[in-house]
Every structure is written in structure tokens, then in C-alpha cells.
């Protein structure tokens, strides 16, 4: 997984190297999301950063609630020249995790559904995604792979619905790679400016992400109406 020995990530600046880390804030005053964000970020400062990124991307595609984007961004900020490598690691972990989610839905769903519903996603969300698969098939996978829609719901339900496995993997690969490489390209182009913005306006960033997440569910919920509206335009 690692191309050569991996060292703790250092900031790409002139002068003495410094580990990229968020400013320390007393724990009682920090928001829960910020604490979780900091916990994910701390892996970027260890020799196991690449494996942590791979495992986070893998787990998020089948059961874990935290997306790998924050760790990917932190690692890429510290070493921008390796940002495409980190995007590749994220893509590989996410696609393999998505395949695991698919196999859970395809082979053992009835045995484990109580572990997922309602703890990972709700019955209503599951039923809604099943209905969307019946209407639009594998294209729902691409929508979730590239947007903030929780990918785990899509991968597990794809297995339950017996979506074509080869097409599922290919669409997942395109969608996940598109998402992670977009992050890598932005960091290569804008670098530290984006890093400072995220650190300074973290609460705003989380609000925007949450709005995007809700928007993703709205897209799934009202897909028929959206398609009809777009057809009316053209």
C-alpha cells in the first residue's frame, strides 16, 4: 500500500519542518464534531497515515460514519506532491469497502440487518434506496459515489437488490475516483490557501457539508421530479 517507507507527515514549508496539526483547544469547549475531526487528523502525524487513510475509506463505504475526505485533505496539504497517491489510496479503500458492503447485502443481509437498522441507517432510508434502484438501477451508485450521500446505504442496498456486480464496481470506481481526485487537484492548485480556510472556518465547512448531505437525500427522494423537470427544459 505504501510506496516506500512512510514517515510522519511534515508541512511543506521552508525552514524547520513542522507537523501539520490543528490548534489545540481545551476539550470541554470543543464541539463533538471537532473532536472527531481532530481524532481523524491525528493519524496524519503517524507513520501509519497511508494505512489509516485506506482503512478509513474502506470502513466508510460499508459501516463507518466518518468520510475519509478530512484525512485525505490533511495528508495532501502536508505533502501536496503526494496528493494524487493519497487520492489513489482513498479510491482503492473506498471501492473495496463498497464491494464489502455489496457482499453484506447480497449474502448475509437478513442475518445482520439488525446491526445496521436503525443504527447505521433507518428502515425508511433503506426502503427509499431500494425503490430508487428499482427505477434507476446502478446510476444511483454513481450519484452516491460522487456526492455526500452516505455511500454505505447505497453499497449494501445494491447487494440486497442484486445489482450487476461488474457494473457496480466500475461505476463505484469512476464516482469515487472523481470525488477524491477532485480534492487532490484542488489542493495541488490552491494548497495552503484552502487549508487555512478550512481551519479558520471549520464550523462553516461542517454546515456546508451537512447541507450537502441533506441535499443528497433530497436528490434521491425527488429524483423523478428532478428528471421530469430537466426533460422539460430540453
pLDDT higher than threshold 70 for residue 208: no
- Per-residue pLDDT, 218: 67
Per-residue pLDDT, 76: 87
pTM listed for this prediction: 0.67
Q: What is the pLDDT of residue 29?
A: 38
Q: Could you tell me if 66 and 56 are in contact, meaning their C-beta atoms sit under 8 angstroms apart? A: yes
Question: pLDDT category, 17, cuts 50, 70, 90?
Answer: very low
Residue 83 in grid coordinates: 496528493
Neighbours of 199 (CB within 10 A): 14
What mean pLDDT do residues 1-27 have? 46
Q: In whole angstroms, what separates CA 45 from the centre of its chain?
A: 20
Is 77 in a helix, a strand, or coil? helix
Q: How far is CA 91 from the centre of its chain?
A: 9
Question: Which pLDDT band holds residue 221 (cuts at 50, 70, 90)?
Answer: low
- Classified as helix, coil or strand, 11 is coil
pLDDT at 84 over 70: yes
Q: Is the peptide bond before 90 cis (omega within 30 degrees of 0)?
A: no
Give Rg (Cα) of the chain: 19
The pLDDT score that the predictor gives to residue 202 is 53
- Measured distance CA(12)–CA(18) in Å, rounded: 8
The answer to whether residue 129 scores a pLDDT higher than 60 is yes
Amino acid at each position: 500500500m505504501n510506496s516506500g517507507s512512510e514517515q510522519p507527515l511534515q508541512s511543506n514549508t521552508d525552514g524547520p519542518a513542522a507537523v501539520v496539526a490543528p490548534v489545540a483547544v481545551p476539550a470541554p469547549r470543543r464541539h463533538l464534531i471537532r473532536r472527531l475531526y481532530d481524532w481523524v487528523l491525528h493519524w496524519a502525524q503517524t507513520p501509519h497515515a497511508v494505512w489509516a487513510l485506506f482503512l478509513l475509506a474502506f470502513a466508510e463505504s460499508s459501516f463507518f460514519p466518518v468520510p475519509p475526505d478530512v484525512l485525505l485533505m490533511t495528508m495532501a496539504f502536508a505533502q501536496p506532491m503526494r496528493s494524487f497517491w493519497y487520492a489513489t489510496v482513498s479510491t482503492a479503500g473506498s471501492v473495496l469497502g463498497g464491494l464489502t458492503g455489496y457482499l453484506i447485502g447480497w449474502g448475509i443481509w437478513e442475518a445482520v440487518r439488525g446491526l445496521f437498522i436503525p443504527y447505521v441507517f433507518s428502515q425508511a432510508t433503506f426502503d427509499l434506496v431500494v425503490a430508487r434502484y428499482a427505477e434507476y438501477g446502478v446510476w444511483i451508485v454513481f450519484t452516491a459515489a460522487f456526492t455526500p450521500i452516505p455511500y454505505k446505504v447505497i453499497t449494501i442496498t445494491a447487494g440486497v437488490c442484486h445489482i450487476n456486480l461488474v457494473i457496480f464496481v466500475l461505476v463505484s470506481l469512476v464516482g469515487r475516483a472523481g470525488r477524491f481526485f477532485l480534492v487532490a487537484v484542488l489542493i495541488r492548485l490552491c494548497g495552503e490557501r484552502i487549508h487555512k480556510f478550512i481551519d479558520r472556518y471549520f464550523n462553516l465547512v461542517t454546515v456546508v457539508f451537512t447541507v450537502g448531505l441533506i441535499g443528497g437525500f433530497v436528490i434521491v427522494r425527488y429524483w423523478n421530479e428532478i428528471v421530469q423537470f430537466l426533460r422539460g427544459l430540453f
